[in-house]
Chain A
Amino acid sequence: MSVDTLSPLPGRKQSLLSRLFSRPLDVVISVTVLLFAASVLWQLSKWAIIDAVWTSPDATSEVCRGVSGACWAVIDVRWRLIVFGLFPYEEQWRSSLACIVMVIVAILSCVPMFWTAIRLSALWIVGFSIFYALMAGGVLGLTPIAPDKWGGLTLTVFIYAAGMLIGMPMAIALALMRRATLPVIARTTGIIIDSVRSLPLITILFTAALVLPFVLPEWLLGDKIWRVILGFALFFAAYEAENIRSGIQALPSGQEEAARALGLTYWQRTSRIILPQALRNALPPTINQFVISFKETSLIVIIGFFDVMASGKAAYGSGEWSFAWVEVYVFVALIYFIFVFSLSRYGAYLERRLRVGQH
């Protein structure tokens, strides 16, 4: 039998077969592992799909009585709670629209057409304003809804997006200030960054949400949610500033010297020569930081926010559904996975596109 060397598929198959089944011991090991994997997969799909209950026509848990598979009916009945939290039922379309707007903004920022600083910031500011207007109301005849009613996935997305939106410019500013020629500024910034990094995020959030009201005058307090977002942004910025600084320091010093020799001002050098290259260099750790931050939003549950983890807990937290916590956690994990995985893939796409690591 001749092997068609032009098509890669049979070749790959061939090499796989020769690797897994060449010697008798290999055959035994391969078969055992494959059988084990198949049985795990079979058990899992039996639980998750074959024996599972998907809907509950009467919105009670009666359909899941005596069923051995997963009770996805809990998601069918309680998904609104997980996604929207305590947002008023009649107004939940606003919450979903707001989420969709945010997703569209995120997708649009992947389009190279928007890849100038002005377009990108305009896109995010407009998208974020629409999101905020939809959620908070009070404009265009929408009933106002206070942030203490926000919850679920939308709240997680809001706190994350707002935190990143404020945190990113803050990080760039901190990175530049740490490299400032004036020692006062450079050292102070260094101390700020290192102090913030030496505190756990939870204490920062706790202080922002619960301790500040004791020390700040009322007019300076603002809403709890904004204090928390600022704390979150500060924490993100302290780490991200160091990522960016590493990106800056990776640049050959000739870059800045050449720019200086050409007579460019500090701002021209920074915005046209240094930052574009530094941000490109810092892209892998930056994506890393974004991914970590998304998962860190789940900490806000400690200071009494109804984020997607809390609303998940509330979703199975009723006499009716408390047995179905595995299903709810799987669902919440899936939500996190979709967000974080897309974020990582987007990062990988950017790296390819910007040829990070290839000079």
Chain B
Amino acid sequence: MKAIGTIALGATVLLSATAAQAGFGDTLKTVKERGALSCSGHNGTYLGMAEVDDKGNWKGFDIDMCRAVASAIFGTPEGHLKIQSTSWEQRWPSLQSGELDLVIKSSGWTMSRDTDTALQFSRPYIMAAISYATHAENNAQSIKDIDGGTLCVQSGTTLERYATDHAASNGYELEVVPFDSTEAAKAAFLSGRCDAYVEWDLQIAVMRATEVENPESIAILPDVLSAEPVAIVMRQGDDQWIDVANWVGSILIQADEAGVTSANVDEMKANPPTPAIATMLGVTPGVGKRLDLSDDWAYNVIKNVGNYNEIWERNLGEGSAYKLARGVNGLIRNGGIMYSLTMD
């Protein structure tokens, strides 16, 4: 698998150097001409982010982001969204070759991708918060409550470094029990060998929901050791396309802040309570033209997909099997880091 990844990366770097860069506005034009947005799915499943339901329909957080962009462009994702099943290895070549318009596949914003691979990123739509899991019987409110306890971790990973750095700067100690693979570290933690385990909080939530007899026996602690930005990935060069991706992402959070949901958006559009909401939903014209979209693009996004909180709760939160709290992905006013851009 690693060899394939290397081949894929080699091909991408090689080809991205020669491939013509996307020009300003090209991608949106191509998408409109095709009549459908081509977005990344999965070749199998990535729990919470891309899954397939009993009837063979895609669902998940990444998929909802694809649906949001398709709604903004076409008014509805129905018939205008092609979810291409995509493997991890193939996502950059498929994006560079134009098979995909967007990669929304839990992909982190890294320097090599941004520069060498000639990709560009939207603002992060999720921060992958690195957190501690512990056994609920420890009754810990924060990691300091298990000061001096043991931590199961794969040795030599960034996760281990995050944990030791966090411990050093916050004045607590953990005895690191090193393992040579994530699976071994996880199994040891679940068997009770360690008091704590460190991972992306979504992965902990998935583990809790799928590998533990009683999900309530595992708690995710609120301490955030670090967070890796997960963003929408595009071909380098089309600044207009970044604008579309950024503003679709922003509108989901803005609607969350303003309390606009898929349930009340019609009412809000008919009688906008504030001028800001009137602008946002396209009651006051002009907001669409700047992005080369229709004036009601934001209305269509909220109507079809819902706001950020609805997407979260449906796929990762209380409405899902994973029961993951928003934590660092909460709105700024709730102690998170999610904020919308200013729509004027």
Knowing A302-B90, A304-B86, A304-B90, the reply to whether A78 touches B54 (Cβ < 8 A) is: yes
Alpha-carbon separation in the docked complex, A234 to B322 (Å):
45
Check A301–B54 contact: CB distance below 8 A: no
Knowing A306-B43, A313-B44, A317-B44, the reply to whether A77 touches B54 (Cβ < 8 A) is: yes
- Chain B interface, DSSP helix/strand/loop, else mixed: loop
- Chain B residues with CB under 8 A of A305: 43, 85
Q: Which residue of B lies closest to A325 (CB)?
A: B210
A/B interface sample: 28 pairs, CB < 8 A? A78-B54, A80-B55, A80-B56, A84-B56, A86-B52, A86-B83, A88-B56, A206-B90, A214-B18, A214-B97, A301-B43, A302-B43, A304-B43, A304-B85, A305-B85, A310-B43, A310-B44, A311-B52, A313-B44, A314-B42, A314-B44, A316-B45, A319-B48, A319-B210, A320-B321, A322-B47, A323-B210, A323-B211
A210 within 8 A of B: yes
8 closest pairs, A vs B, by CB?
Answer: A317-B45, A319-B321, A313-B44, A213-B97, A322-B210, A210-B93, A89-B55, A314-B52
- Report B19 CB to chain A, min CB distance, Å: 6
Q: Which residue of B lies closest to A146 (CB)?
A: B82
B residues bordering A, Cβ < 8 Å? 4, 7-8, 11, 15, 18-19, 42-48, 51-58, 82-87, 89-90, 93-94, 96-99, 206, 209-211, 320-322
Knowing A211-B15, A304-B90, A318-B51, the reply to whether A202 touches B4 (Cβ < 8 A) is: yes
Alpha-carbon separation in the docked complex, A213 to B95 (Å):
11
Q: Which residue of A lies closest to B323 (CB)?
A: A319
Alpha-carbon separation in the docked complex, A301 to B1 (Å):
12
Alpha-carbon separation in the docked complex, A213 to B94 (Å):
9
Alpha-carbon separation in the docked complex, A13 to B273 (Å):
90
A102 within 8 A of B: no
Query: Which chain A residues numbered 53 to 96 have a C-beta less than 8 Å away from chain B?
Result: 59, 77-78, 80-81, 84-89, 92
- Chain B residues with CB under 8 A of A30: none
- Report B46 CB to chain A, min CB distance, Å: 8
- Chain B residues with CB under 8 A of A86: 52, 56-58, 83, 85
Q: Which residue of A lies closest to B15 (CB)?
A: A214
A151 within 8 A of B: yes
Q: Which residue of A lies closest to B315 (CB)?
A: A319
The residue that A85 contacts in the complex, of B42, B56, B89, with Cβ under 8 A, is B56
Q: Which residue of B lies closest to A224 (CB)?
A: B99
Knowing A206-B8, A301-B44, A305-B43, the reply to whether A318 touches B53 (Cβ < 8 A) is: yes
Check A203–B7 contact: CB distance below 8 A: yes
Query: Which chain A residues numbered 199 to 213 have a C-beta less than 8 Å away from chain B?
Result: 202-203, 206, 209-211, 213
Alpha-carbon separation in the docked complex, A311 to B43 (Å):
8
Q: How many of chain A's residues have a CB under 8 angstroms from any CB in B? A: 42
- Chain B residues with CB under 8 A of A306: 43, 85
- Report B334 CB to chain A, min CB distance, Å: 25
A303 within 8 A of B: yes
- Chain A residues with CB under 8 A of B54: 59, 77-78, 80-81
A194 within 8 A of B: no
Alpha-carbon separation in the docked complex, A303 to B85 (Å):
9
A148 within 8 A of B: yes
Check B322–A319 contact: CB distance below 8 A: yes
Alpha-carbon separation in the docked complex, A320 to B206 (Å):
11
Check A151–B4 contact: CB distance below 8 A: no
- Report A280 CB to chain B, min CB distance, Å: 39
The residue that A317 contacts in the complex, of B47, B83, B85, with Cβ under 8 A, is B47
Check B85–A213 contact: CB distance below 8 A: no
Interface bits A282-307 vs B (CB < 8 Å: 1, else 0):
00000000000000000001111110
Knowing A148-B85, A214-B97, the reply to whether A317 touches B52 (Cβ < 8 A) is: yes
- Report A55 CB to chain B, min CB distance, Å: 14
Alpha-carbon separation in the docked complex, A305 to B8 (Å):
16
- Given A209-B90, A314-B44, A319-B47, 14 more A-B residue pairs with CB atoms under 8 Å apart are A81-B54, A151-B85, A203-B7, A210-B99, A214-B19, A303-B87, A303-B90, A304-B86, A306-B43, A313-B45, A318-B47, A318-B51, A319-B209, A323-B210
Q: Which residue of B lies closest to A322 (CB)?
A: B210
- Chain B residues with CB under 8 A of A209: 90
The residue that A210 contacts in the complex, of B56, B97, B209, with Cβ under 8 A, is B97
Residue with the highest number of chain B CB atoms closer than 10 Å, among A78, A84, A148: A148
Check A206–B85 contact: CB distance below 8 A: no
- Chain B residues with CB under 8 A of A84: 56
Check B45–A302 contact: CB distance below 8 A: no
Q: Which residue of A lies closest to B209 (CB)?
A: A319
- Chain A residues with CB under 8 A of B8: 206, 210
Residue with the highest number of chain B CB atoms closer than 10 Å, among A148, A151, A319: A319
- Chain A residues with CB under 8 A of B19: 214
Check B51–A210 contact: CB distance below 8 A: no
